[in-house]
Structure 1
Amino acid sequence: MSDSTTNKQKNFALVGAAGYIAPRHMKAIKETENHLSVAYDTNDSVGIIDSISPESEFFTDFERFYEHAWQLKRNENTKLDYVSVCSPNHMHASHIAAGLRLGCDVICEKPLVPTSEDLDELKRVERETGQQVYNILQLRHHPAILELREKVANADKSAKHEVELTYITSRGKWYLESWKGDPRKSFGVATNIGVHFFDMLHFIFGKLQKNVLHYTDELKASGYLEYEKARVKWLLSIDANDLPDDVKGKKSTYRTINCDGDELEFSGGFTDLHTVSYQEILAGRGYGVEDARHCVETVESIRTQQPQKALADEAHPMLEHLLAGKGV
C-alpha cells in the first residue's frame, strides 16, 4: 500500500479526465501539493488540464495509458501512487481493479460500484494486490452535516427524527443523450445523483431499517427510508420544473434537509469538499469499501423495487405533484 505518511509528493493518474467532476479531482491533487502525472479519457476535451497541470501526459486509448503507467513503475520517482477514477459509473469497477493492479491505491467518485457483489470483488482485488480503494463521500465532511450529526447524537433517543430530504439539480436535454441518461451505465437517477445523500443519511441517522420506493422515472425518484434514528421522506430530481418558485431563475440547484421542522439548506460549501476528502485520504483517514457498502446496498435495493403506493405519513410533500404529472 502507498505510504501516505511521508512528505514525498505523490504521483497521480486520472481516469475520466473529460468528465464533469474531474476538475475537482485535478484541483484537489494540486491543492494537496501533489502531481498529476498522467490522465486518460476517450474524449479529448480536456483543456482544463492546462490551468492545473499542463505538463501531464494524456491518452485517449486505455491500452496506451496503462502501458505508460506500467513503465512509470520502473522508476521510484515516477511510479504512480494513486489512480483517481472519474469515469462513467459502469466503468468504475474495471478501472478501480486496473489501478489496484498497477500497484496504486485508488480514489473513486460516487457511486463506487453499483452492487454489493461488486464491492466483494473489490475486496478480493485489494487482498490480491495489497492496495486500497477509497470512495469520495464528500458530504461526510460538510460542516452543516457534521453539525446535524452531532445534534442528533446528543438528542433524545426515545423518538425518531422526522426528516425530509429534497435534492433538485437542473439538467438540460443533453443529460438523457449522455451515458448518464442510460440506466445500464448510470444505474438511474437515484443511484447517479442520490447515492452520496443516502450515505449522508446513514452517516447521521444510523442503520437502515426500511426502504420503500414510491415513484421513479428517468428524471426523478421519491421514496421513504427508515433508519435507527429517523424516518426520512426523500425526493431527487434533475427536472428544473421541480425547483421551488423562490429558487427558479436564481439557482439551478436546491439541496435541503428538514429535520423536525428545522430546515438545513446546504447548497453552499460543496466546491472544496473534494480537496478535504483528498487531505483525509492522504492522512490515512479515507473512506474505504466497507464505508461505501451501506449506500451501495441502499441504491441497489431502490433499483430493484417496483413503486408502491405511499402511506400517508411516509410520502414526500412533492410526491402528489409527481404522480399528478404522470396522470396517476
Structure 2
Amino acid sequence: MLKKLRVGIIGAGGIATAAHIPNYLKCGEKVEIVAICDVIKEKAEKLATEFNIPHVFSNYEEMLENIQLDAVSICTPNKVHYPATMAALNEGCHVLCEKPPAMTAKEAEEMAIAAEKAGKILTYGFHFRHAPHVEVLKRFIDGGELGDIYAARVTAMRRRGIPGWGVFTNKELQGGGPLIDIGVHMLDTALYLMGYPEPDTVFGVTYQKLGNKKGVGLLGAWDWENFTIEDMARGMITFKNGASILLETAFAANVEKHDVMNVSLMGDKGGADVFPLKIYQEKHDTLIDITPSHLSKKDWYETELERFVDACLEGTTPLSTGIQGVYLQKIINGLYESAEKGEAVKMGENVTV
C-alpha cells in the first residue's frame, strides 16, 4: 500500500490552478506533486514556481516516461482527455480526469476498459457530487424517503455567461458548449442520485442564437466572431427502468436569473430540489417541506481531491467510476446526434466493462 501519492498535473490552466493543485496540497503528507506539464511551458513553469513543483514539461508523454508517478490529474481541453488518460493508465497511474469524460462514448469506454485491465482508478471531476447538499439528499434517498425516483429536471442556465477565456467556445477542442461544460455537472448529479440508470432513448435540440453576436458578457468579453459551439441545449432522456430526465442548459439566454444550477427529483414518496436543498413530502395528510438547518461549508473540490487521494492510497472505489463515465458520455453524444438529425436517438447496446 502506498504511503505517499506522487502526483503529476497535466494541464496548467484555471482548473489546475484553482482546484487541483491547492487541494492536493491540503492533503499534507499524503501527497507530493512532483511534476506538471502544459503545451505552453511558460504556464507550467509559473505554477511550478508558485507551488514548488520540481519537474516541468511541455509534453505529457515525456513527463509520464521520465517521472515515476502514482497518479495524475488531467486538466486539459476535452480533446486531450482520452489520449492523456490512456497514456497515464499505460504507465501505471491512477487518473482523475476533468469532465466530460471524453469526446465520444467509444473513447470513454476504451478508457474504462484500460483502467480495469491496468487495475487502476479512473474517476472524473464531477465535484458537485461532493457537495453537502448532494450527500445529505443521497442519505434520504438511500433511506427510501423519496421512494421510486421516476422523473428529474436538470437546469444549468446562465443569462449571459459565455466564458471569454480558454477554449470553451471552440468546438474542435471542447466538443460542445454548455451541455458538456455546465449541463454535464447537473446531469451527472441527477444520474448519481437516481442510481445511474441505463439510458434508452434521447431527444435533443441545440441553438446558436446569442453567442455568435456581440453583446453584454457578465463573465467578460468573448470571441463572438469565432464562436463555434451551441449557446443553449435542451433534451429529454428516457431510461430502461422507465425513468426520465428533462434537461435545459445555456451559456446565454434571455432569462431573469444569471446563474441557475439545480436538479429537481420526483419520486412516488417524495421529491427534492438540490440547490438549495429542499425535500417535499406528504405526511399525516399534510404537505411538508424539509430543509437542513446546517450544511458543511467545506469546499467541494477539497472533498473531491481528498477522496481521490484516499482511494488511491487505500485501494477503495471512488465516487465516480469509469462505467458511469461511459453512460454519461453516451447520453451527451446522443443528445448532440439527435439535435443534428432532428429525431430521437436510441442508445444502442448495453455497455459492458
TM-score range, shorter chain: 0.7 to 0.9
Q: Distance in 2 between matches of 1:122 and 1:168?
A: 30
Q: Distance in 2 between matches of 1:240 and 1:20?
A: 25
Q: Distance in 2 between matches of 1:219 and 1:67?
A: 37
**Superimposed CA distance per residue, residues 148-172 of structure 1 (whole angstroms, 9 cap, x where no aligned partner):** 33444514646834x3322124534
TM-score for both structures, normalised by structure 2: 0.69
Alignment coverage as a number of residue pairs? 285
Which residue of structure 2 aligns with residue 257 of structure 1? 263
Q: Distance in 2 between matches of 1:235 and 1:271?
A: 28
Secondary structure (helix, strand or coil) at the match of 2:237 reads strand
Quote how far apart the aligned CAs of 1:289 are: 1.2
Percentage of matched positions with identical amino acids: 17
CA contact (8 A) 2:133 2:276 kept: yes
Q: Distance in 1 between matches of 2:298 and 2:17?
A: 12
Matches within 5 A, 1:26-175: 26-33=21-28, 34-43=31-40, 44-45=42-43, 47-51=46-50, 53-59=51-57, 61-62=58-59, 66-72=61-67, 79-126=68-115, 129-153=118-142, 154-155=144-145, 157=147, 160-161=150-151, 163-169=152-158, 170-172=160-162, 174=164
Match of 2:169 among 159, 171, 181: 181
Match of 2:180 among 182, 191, 215: 191
TM-score for both structures, normalised by structure 1: 0.74
Q: Distance in 2 between matches of 1:11 and 1:181?
A: 34
Aligned CA distance change for structure 1 residues 229 and 30 (closer, same or farther; 3 Å): farther
**Superimposed CA distance per residue, residues 31-54 of structure 1 (whole angstroms, 9 cap, x where no aligned partner):** 112111111112333545544x22
**Superimposed CA distance per residue, residues 277-314 of structure 1 (whole angstroms, 9 cap, x where no aligned partner):** 2222233231331132221111011111137699xxxx
CA contact (8 A) 1:195 1:296 kept: no
Which residue of structure 2 aligns with residue 239 of structure 1? 252
Which residue of structure 1 aligns with residue 214 of structure 2? none
Which residue of structure 1 aligns with residue 305 of structure 2? 278
Q: Distance in 2 between matches of 1:14 and 1:164?
A: 35
Residue 294 in 1 paired to residue 327 in 2?
Answer: yes
Quote how far apart the aligned CAs of 1:82 are: 0.8
CA contact (8 A) 1:89 1:111 kept: yes
**Superimposed CA distance per residue, residues 31-89 of structure 1 (whole angstroms, 9 cap, x where no aligned partner):** 112111111112333545544x2243223x21xx54354333xxxxxx21111101110
Which one-letter code corresponds to 1:275 in the other structure?
E
Q: Distance in 2 between matches of 1:209 and 1:291?
A: 15
Which one-letter code corresponds to 2:122 in the other structure?
V
CA contact (8 A) 1:202 1:294 kept: no
Which one-letter code corresponds to 1:201 in the other structure?
A
Which residue of structure 1 aligns with residue 211 of structure 2? none
